[in-house]
Structure 1
Amino acid sequence: MKKLLILLIAGVLFAVEAYQQQNISVPESLLQASDSKEKISADNRDLKRAYEAKQSNLQVQGSGVVVKVLRDDLKGSRHQKFILQVGPGLTVLIAHNIDLAPRIDGLKKGDAVEFNGEYEWNSRGGVIHWTHKDPRGYHVSGWLKHDARSYQ
């Protein structure tokens, strides 16, 4: 329950920040709570540093708010794709392999998502992938969490 509250607070803060900086419409239900901005900053600190340093191949963990759900990429390995607001002015593309992990059904704009995956830098904020278990066991396992459910 505590984790869910933290996620909700994180979602609210990111959504409000996104709305103020990018005119992204935020569902009214997300504007009901706010509290711990320090916790959110700490969650995504490594990600922010990696973006600023243009680093790639870095395992990161954090949270964000969905600002756009994209069409699934069905060419080659299939991926569910969506954009997360992870801090003021910083978004990342999540590329979640749905051949190796369950798809997050019902994902929508404004939803809070936690992640653990590999970060790849690009000028638009970067991509987080490897949000699943490696079937061969060579790569660090990643995951996504949405509505108290883990996707790995």
Structure 2
Amino acid sequence: MLKTVIAAFVLLSCSGAFALVSNDSDLVQAIHQDQNVNFIEAGNMVVTQILPDDTVGLPHQRWMVRLSDNSTMALIYNSDMGDRVPLQIGETVAAGGQLIMGEQGPLLHWLHADPKGRRPDGYIYANGVYYGGK
């Protein structure tokens, strides 16, 4: 589902409250502390690579992004949970989801609504459009 968001920052509805996300400092800190986080948000991430879709099991779009400390990480979006995200290299995105510290590096997953309501809804925000939420 798409929602157009008119704001200079990411505007995320979470339990009826709105929060502005304009940087990646919490995400960078969690990665440096090697922490898995059930839900975390970050902004100003720059797309550095568009990876091939993962078509084994549920379909996922995958990208690499650069963070403010110049490290990189993967964003993994379950593309059957919402519209495809038309990202290009060099674009700036924001996202909220589950941080997993994997063997191949950190990744941000669950970038979509949770149909069972067990976790906060994830999202990707790119080019003024909000992807993956309800």
Q: TM-score, normalised by structure 1?
A: 0.69
Q: Which residue identity does 1:76 align to in structure 2? A: G
Say how many residue pairs are matched: 116
Matched residue, 2:39: 59
More strand by share: 2
Matched residue, 2:125: 145
Correspondent of 1:133 among 113, 119, 132: 113
In structure 1, what is the Cα distance between the partners aligned to 2:115 and 2:38? 20
Correspondent of 1:108 among 77, 88, 96: 88
In structure 1, what is the Cα distance between the partners aligned to 2:29 and 2:84? 29
Matched residue, 1:71: 52
In structure 1, what is the Cα distance between the partners aligned to 2:7 and 2:56? 39
More helix by share: 1
5+ long unaligned stretches in structure 1? 7-38
Q: Percent identity?
A: 25
Which aligned segments of 4 or more residues in structure 1 are displaced greater than 2 angstroms? 122-125
In structure 2, what is the Cα distance between the partners aligned to 1:57 and 1:147? 26
Larger Rg: 1
8 A contact 1:91–1:124 mirrored in 2: no
5+ long unaligned stretches in structure 2? 1-5, 11-20
Q: Within the alignment, does 1:3 sit opposite 2:3 as a pair?
A: no
